Amino acid sequence: MHLGRPTETISLRSPILIKQLVIAIYPGSFDPITLGHLDIIERGAKLFDQVIVAVLCNPSKSPLFSVEKRINQIRESTPHLKNIEVDSFTGLTVEYAKSRQASVLLRGLRVLSDFEKELQMAHTNQTLWDGIETVFLATTKEYSFLSSSIVKEIAQFGGTIDHLVPENIARDIYTYYS
Ligand code: ADP
């Protein structure tokens, strides 16, 4: 039987079970990745068979770091996670998810304003493809205020950001603003 998604055969004496792998896409700008994003990636990696961290190429935004740089930054920040892939995409997230045989969109929730935006996006995506489920992970308390924009704002004015982003990202940001 063709299930349309990657499968894994697990032998438990008998009978043979076919387990459907659950692939989650974690889409975002990640400009740059913060410890808040990393926390969601690490927790997602425990919940799903594979997590694809997908950097959105948005031509209407002028990011701090190029898409290629952001991909490398995320890879450098996640060597300890074996079921993570980092990629980029353009266009509709659901189309990308389909092309990667993913059934879950992973998103993080911080404050109430995130909820409104995220709920609208989740409902919209469901109307585009009902094969996708959005799964929200609540932020860890200490990262509830943390966003890429906050990090950039602090760094721009010469503040310390070592406690907000992985070490390699802090180096890149300090270099950028020096
Ligand atoms: P986008 O431009 O799509 O919002 P972001 O890179 O800002 O991309 O965020 C990607 C996802 O990560 C979003 O679901 C966002 O809510 C979540 N996220 C960002 N920062 C945090 C954080 N500190 N804690 C939990 N989730 C977060």
**pLDDT by residue (tens digit) across 72-96?**
999 999 999 999 999 999 999 999 9
Centre of ligand 1 to C-alpha 156, Å, is 20
The distance in angstroms from the start CA to the end CA of the chain is 58
DSSP 2: -
Average pLDDT over residues 7-29: 80
Which of 139, 140, 141, 152 to probe ligand 1 with, by most ligand atoms within 8 A of CB? 139
What pLDDT, on a 0 to 100 scale, did the predictor assign at position 13?
63
* Residues 50, 21 contacting (CB under 8 angstroms): yes
Q: From the centroid of its chain, how far is CA 110?
A: 14
Instruction: Check if 89 has its Cβ closer than 6 Å to any atom of ligand 1.
Output: no
- Each domain of the chain, given as residue ranges in start order, spans 23-177
Average pLDDT over residues 109-119: 90
pTM, to two decimals: 0.90
Sign of the torsion angle spanned by Cα atoms 167, 169, 172, 173:
negative
Three-state secondary structure call for residue 45: helix
Q: Read off the pLDDT band of 107 (50, 70, 90).
A: very high
Assign domain 23-177 to its CATH architecture: 3-Layer(aba) Sandwich (3.40)
Residue 26's closest CA among 115, 86, 75? 86
